[in-house]
Amino acid sequence: MSVGGVALFLGHLLAWTAIVLLLAWLGRITARRLRQPEVVGEITGGLLVGPALHALAGADAFAVLLPGDVLHGLKLLGEAGLALFLLGLTHELRTGPVRFGRRVVAGIVAGSLVPSLCAGGLLAGWVLLVDDPALRGTAPLPAFVLFIAVGLSITAVPVLARILADQGLTGSREGRLALTGAIILDAAGWVLLSVVLGLNTRSLAGLLQMLATMVAAVLVVLVLGRILRTRAAGAWAGGYPRSATVAVAVASIAAALTAEAVGVTMIFGAVLFGLAIPANSPVWDAVVATVTRGGRSLVPVFFVVTGVTVLTAGFGAAPWALLGLATGLGILGKVGGGYLGARLGGESRWTSVRVGVLMNTRGLTELIVLQVGYSAGIVTPPMFLALVVMALVTTALTGPLLSLLDRARSRAATTPPRRL
């Protein structure tokens, strides 16, 4: 490519990046005015801009506005931002949940996980019963069923934490219980997702190779973690915070790209590297926070690329029955399961139902998991779209449902008991 061609490419890429960041800002403003978490507006706007532009301009004009090389550049930029964001998410998960009695935590985790997995199994069973290749795809049956189950069991820790802050519930019992359960569930979700990817290899040799790769990566993480926890490493990070920030960012992206190169999704590379960063360390916490802010600002690019590459093909193909069933089962598994789990743990009726509503928050983590499944060929575009709709609807319902519960509780408290 000539110097002029490179300059044109970079200019085109920067222009699209600026457009994406502007759309993300507008999405955040719109979400705030609708009393929704900012990430809901950010995700929705990012996912819809590509398909909307494609529909309005037509395929030929769209190809001129967003050429393949620019789209590939945006893809790399979005993946880099996602890797940096996942570093912070993993670090946050390792800070440790607030301690409660084992009974109530076990009840919430089991209640939020098992019914949701069963609901996912029911959704996968419906797809198999319909027997539509556009929905089923060609993935091995165990990988397909388990992935759908995992997709309905996710609770997004970052979005949940933001909702708790917006609702003033961070210090409440139901808020702390839900966040504790979400942290444990997210860890279980990543493990189950690795099992899904192993099952998707279609052969025992492929599964064993993936497991061996994961074991080797874990060993590298353990060694790197020991090095970073030394006093010398901490002193270097504290004395040269900018250099440490750049080094961590570059290493996180390199880990993600290496994982993708060896056949494991890039997300696991970023997550595993995040496990090596010392937790509860003021020095390393500050470094990770800076890296995460940079990655968080680029995550909207990831949504735009996802919308262009996936939803443009899947918008008209997802039946309304699938959209409704995925959303309904997603709500039933999380709200109902979270409620039952908290009640079995000894919580009151009001606390339990609020825990169930909070556990129904999916948000960004769900989108990341779904993208892994789509990239691995486990789900088709229509199935991806149905699960995206489920993730957005369930997350958007959290705030309104909490407000509805508050009003119902206030009415119950002020209504005098009936005389018999």
- Of 6-10, 373-377, 414-418, the range with the lowest mean pLDDT is 414-418
Higher pLDDT, residue 232 or 312: 232
Question: What pLDDT is stored for residue 316 in this prediction?
Answer: 55
Quick one: how far is CA 227 from the chain centroid? 30
Percent of the chain with pLDDT over 70: 92
Q: Is the pLDDT of residue 417 over 90?
A: no
If 0-12 CB within 10 Å is exposed, 13-18 middle and 19+ buried, where does residue 182 land? buried
Output the average pLDDT for the chain: 84
Question: What pLDDT is stored for residue 190 in this prediction?
Answer: 80
* Band of residue 332 on the pLDDT scale cut at 50, 70, 90: very high
H-assigned helices in 229-281: 231-239, 241-261, 266-276
Which residue type sits at 217?
A
Q: Is the pLDDT of residue 169 over 70?
A: yes
Q: Is the pLDDT of residue 192 over 70?
A: yes
Question: What pLDDT is stored for residue 378 in this prediction?
Answer: 93
| Distance from C-alpha of 335 to C-alpha of 330, rounded to nearest angstrom | 8
* Band of residue 250 on the pLDDT scale cut at 50, 70, 90: very high
Residues 6+ apart with CB under 8 A from 384: 310, 311, 314, 370, 373, 374
Segments of 59-204 assigned E as strands: none
| Distance from C-alpha of 360 to C-alpha of 84, rounded to nearest angstrom | 25
Of 331, 319, 379, 365, the residue nearest 158 (C-alpha): 365
What is the set of domains in the chain, with CATH numbers?
67-405 (1.20.1530)
Question: What pLDDT is stored for residue 412 in this prediction?
Answer: 73
Average pLDDT, integer, range 87-106? 70
Average pLDDT, integer, range 233-239? 90
* Band of residue 256 on the pLDDT scale cut at 50, 70, 90: confident
Q: Is the pLDDT of residue 323 over 70?
A: yes
Question: What pLDDT is stored for residue 153 in this prediction?
Answer: 92
Tokens standing for residue 41: 């507006």
* Band of residue 379 on the pLDDT scale cut at 50, 70, 90: very high
| Rounded (to 5) percent helix, strand, coil in the chain | 85, 0, 15
Cβ atoms of 388 and 370 within 8 Å: the answer is: yes
Higher pLDDT, residue 212 or 263: 212
Average pLDDT, integer, range 221-244? 90
Question: What pLDDT is stored for residue 116 in this prediction?
Answer: 93
Average pLDDT, integer, range 217-232? 87
Burial 262-297 (b: 16+ CB within 10 A, else e): eebbbbbbbbbbbbbbbbebebbbebbebbbeebbe
| Distance from C-alpha of 322 to C-alpha of 288, rounded to nearest angstrom | 40
Question: What pLDDT is stored for residue 326 in this prediction?
Answer: 95
Higher pLDDT, residue 413 or 373: 373
Angular region, 202: left φ>0, alpha ψ -120 to 50, beta rest: left
The CA R_g of the chain, rounded to the nearest whole Å, is: 22
Question: What pLDDT is stored for residue 197 in this prediction?
Answer: 83
| Distance from C-alpha of 238 to C-alpha of 93, rounded to nearest angstrom | 23
Question: What pLDDT is stored for residue 308 in this prediction?
Answer: 79
Which pTM was predicted? 0.79
Higher pLDDT, residue 259 or 207: 259
Half-sphere exposure of 57 (CA within 13 A, CB side): 15
pLDDT tens track for 42-93: 878 887 887 788 778 887 888 888 888 888 888 888 888 888 888 887 776 6
If 0-12 CB within 10 Å is exposed, 13-18 middle and 19+ buried, where does residue 99 land? exposed
Neighbour tally for 94: CB within 10 Å: 15
